[in-house]
Amino acid sequence: MGMHLILLCLMLMKASSTSANGDGDGDSGCPLGSDTYQYSCPEAEAIIFSWVEQAISQDSRMAASLLRLHFHDCFVNARHSLGCDASVLLDDRDDFVGEKSAAPNLNSLRGFEVIDAIKSELELVCPETVSCADILATVARDSVVLSGGPAWEVKMGRKDSISASKEAANNNIPAPNSTVDVLLTKFQNVGLNLQDMVALSGAHTIGKARCSTFSSRLQSSSDSSDVNMQFIQSLQQLCSGEDNTNKVAHLDLATPATFDSQYYVNLLSGEGLLPSDQALVNGNDHTRQIVETYVEDPSAFFDDFRYSMVKMGSLGSSTQIDGQIRRDCRTINLPN
> Would 231 be classed as within a structural domain?
yes
Share of the chain above pLDDT 90, in %: 77
pLDDT tens, position by position, 42-99: 999 999 999 999 999 999 999 999 999 999 999 996 444 568 999 999 999 999 999 9
Domain annotation covers residue 107: no
- Longest CA–CA separation in the chain, Å: 66
Q: What DSSP string describes 172-205?
A: HSPPTT--HHHHHHHHHHTT--HHHHHHHHGGGG
**The domain spanning residue 241 has which CATH number?**
1.10.420.10
Average the pLDDT over 214-243 and give the result. 85
Q: Between 5 and 165, where is the model more confident?
A: 165
What rounded mean pLDDT belongs to the chain? 88
pTM for the full model?
Answer: 0.88
Q: Was 250 annotated as part of a binding site?
A: no
Q: Report the number of distinct structural domains present in the chain.
A: 1
Say if 280 falls within a structural domain. yes
Q: Is 85 part of any known ligand binding site?
A: yes
Looking at residue 15, what is its pLDDT?
A: 45
CA gap 274, 252 in Å, rounded: 10
pLDDT tens column, 95-141: 999 999 999 999 999 999 999 999 999 999 999 999 999 999 999 99
Q: pLDDT tens-digit profile of 256-310?
A: 999 999 999 999 999 999 999 999 999 899 999 999 999 999 999 999 999 999 9
Q: Does 276 reside within a domain?
A: yes
163-200 pLDDT, tens digit each: 999 999 999 999 999 999 999 999 999 999 999 999 99
Query: Within a domain: residue 135?
Result: no
Q: Is 8 part of any domain? A: no
Query: Known binder of ligand: residue 142?
Result: no
Considering 72, 80, 250, 286, which one is annotated as catalytic? 72
99 annotated as ligand-binding: yes
Convert the pLDDT of each residue in 87-104 to its tens digit.
Answer: 999 999 999 999 999 999
Q: Is 125 a member of any domain?
A: no
166 in a domain, yes or no?
no
- Domain range enclosing 289: 199-311
Q: Is 285 annotated as a binding residue?
A: no
Is 72 tagged catalytic? yes
Closest CA to 195 of 303, 269, 267: 303
